[in-house]
């Protein structure tokens, strides 16, 4: 990440911390899974096929935790944390715009969802930002995934924009059909993509903010 101005330093540090957390925790979970598989094979080595099947059935829940449950909890919480950071940074920009331009309303006074609030507030403040590029679309898609996790426990059926969500997560290969119900199954690669997209978006925001300050 390349810092583009003093305003970006805090966000850059926090995003790197999130990346480090993801990398370290993913590595730990992978090691735990590998260690469990090695232990299982060692214990089951001298068992008959029938005994091995019974042994495997007994520890199937433990294996599922290492292979699916724990990574899913990690990645879901990571996605939520990443977007909480994004909202914080958007809020900081809006507070500065409100103070510097003496705008009588705050961004949360606008009756939209959080991304549209930010978009409309930046337009109100005259911030030179475009909202028709791939970065803005990616941010909206990531928020759609985040909202499904937060408001519908990651389940596809019954989520807001269900059809659009299913098409997107199928295209990104972050949908699980291994469970009774279809649900979001984030990957480490997708989580890394989220961080890169947030930084790309915030970089554009910071650049626009600095450009506006220079023009004024």
Helix (H) or strand (E) holding 184: strand 183-184
**Beta bridge partners of residue 183, listed in sequence order:** 155, 176
Instruction: Decide if 107 contacts 118 (C-beta within 8 A).
Output: yes
- Phi/psi of residue 191, nearest 5 degrees: -60, -40
> What is the SS3 assignment for 39?
helix
Q: What pLDDT score was predicted for residue 4?
A: 53
- Phi/psi of residue 155, nearest 5 degrees: -80, 135
Tell whether the model's pLDDT for residue 160 goes beyond 90: no
Q: In this structure, is the dihedral angle defined by the CA atoms of residues 103, 105, 111 and 117, taken in order, positive or negative?
A: positive
Mean pLDDT of all residues belonging to the chain:
91
Average the pLDDT over each of 3-12, 32-41, 68-77, 179-188 and give the range with the smallest value. 3-12
* pLDDT tens track for 144-157: 999 999 999 999 99
Q: What pLDDT score was predicted for residue 2?
A: 41
* pLDDT tens track for 78-114: 999 999 999 999 999 999 999 999 999 999 999 889 9
Tell whether the model's pLDDT for residue 214 goes beyond 80: no
* Maximum alpha-carbon separation in the chain: 79
Residue 30's pLDDT band (cuts 50, 70, 90)? very high
Q: What pLDDT score was predicted for residue 9?
A: 85
Q: What pLDDT score was predicted for residue 88?
A: 94
Model-level pTM? 0.89
Residue 215's pLDDT band (cuts 50, 70, 90)? low
């Amino acid at each position: 990440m390349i810092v583009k101005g003093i305003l970006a330093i805090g966000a850059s540090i926090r995003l790197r911390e999130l990346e480090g957390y993801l990398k370290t925790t993913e590595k730990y979970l992978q090691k735990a899974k590998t260690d469990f598989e090695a232990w299982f094979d060692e214990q089951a080595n001298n068992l008959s096929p029938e005994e091995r099947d019974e042994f495997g059935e007994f520890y199937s829940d433990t294996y599922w935790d290492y292979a699916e449950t724990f990574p899913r909890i990690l990645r879901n919480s990571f996605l939520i944390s990443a977007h909480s950071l994004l909202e914080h940074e958007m809020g900081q920009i809006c507070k500065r715009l409100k103070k510097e331009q003496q705008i009588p309303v705050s961004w949360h006074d606008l009756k939209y969802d959080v991304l549209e609030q930010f978009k409309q507030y930046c337009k109100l403040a005259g911030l030179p930002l475009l909202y028709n590029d791939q970065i803005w679309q990616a941010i909206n898609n990531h928020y759609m995934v985040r909202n499904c996790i937060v408001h519908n426990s990651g389940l596809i059926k019954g989520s807001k924009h269900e059809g659009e969500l299913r098409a997107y997560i199928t295209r990104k290969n972050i949908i699980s059909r291994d469970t009774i119900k279809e649900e979001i199954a984030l990957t480490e690669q997708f989580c890394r993509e989220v961080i890169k997209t947030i930084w790309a978006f915030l970089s554009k925001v910071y650049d626009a903010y600095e450009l506006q300050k220079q023009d004024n």
